Amino acid sequence: MTNSLIACTDCDLLHQMQPLQGPQKAKCTRCGKVLYRENKHGFEVTLTLTLTALILFVLANSFPFMTLQFGGREQISTIFSGVVELYERNMWSLSLVVLLTSIVIPLTKILCLLYVLISLKNNRHPWGLAPVFRFLEMLTPWSMIEIYMLGVLVAVVKLASMATIVPGIALYSFACLILVMTTADATLESRAIWERIGTRR
Task: Provide the pLDDT for residue 115.
Answer: 94
Q: What is the pLDDT of residues 19-44, one digit of tens each?
A: 776 667 788 888 988 877 766 566 78
Residue 159: pLDDT band by 50, 70, 90 thresholds? low
Which residues 6+ apart lie within 8 Å of 200 measured at CB? 123, 124, 125, 129
Asked if residue 148 lies in contact with residue 201, where contact means CB atoms within 8 angstroms, the answer is no
Residue 1: pLDDT band by 50, 70, 90 thresholds? very low
DSSP string, the chain: -TT-EEE-TTT--EEE-----TT-EEE-TTT--EEEE--TTTTHHHHHHHHHHHHHHHHHTTS-SEEEEETTEEEEE-HHHHHHHHHHTT-HHHHHHHHIIIIIHHHHHHHHHHHHHHHHHTT---TTHHHHHHHHHHHGGG--HHHHHHHHHHHHHHHTTTSEEEE-HHHHHHHHHHHHHHHHHHH--HHHHHHHHHHT-
Longest distance between any two alpha carbons in the chain, whole Å: 70
- pTM of the complete model: 0.75
Residue 74: pLDDT band by 50, 70, 90 thresholds? confident
Asked if residue 119 lies in contact with residue 142, where contact means CB atoms within 8 angstroms, the answer is no
Q: With 60 as the cut, is the pLDDT of residue 199 above it?
A: no
Q: With 80 as the cut, is the pLDDT of residue 60 above it?
A: yes
Lowest mean pLDDT among 5-14, 81-90, 161-170: 161-170
Domain ranges of the chain: 1-38, 42-199
Q: Mean pLDDT, to the nearest integer, of 97-121?
A: 90
Residue 154: pLDDT band by 50, 70, 90 thresholds? low
Q: Mean pLDDT, to the nearest integer, of 173-194?
A: 86
Task: Give me the residues paired with residue 74 across strands.
Answer: 69
Mean pLDDT of the chain: 81
CB atoms < 10 A from the CB of 168, how many?
Answer: 18
154 CB-contact burial (10 Å; exposed 0-12 / middle 13-18 / buried 19+)? exposed
- Gap between the Cα atoms of 148 and 158, Å rounded: 16
Q: Mean pLDDT, to the nearest integer, of 175-182?
A: 90
Q: Mean pLDDT, to the nearest integer, of 59-63?
A: 91
Task: Provide the pLDDT for residue 152.
Answer: 65
Nearest to 145 by CA among 106, 186, 99: 106
Task: Provide the pLDDT for residue 200.
Answer: 47
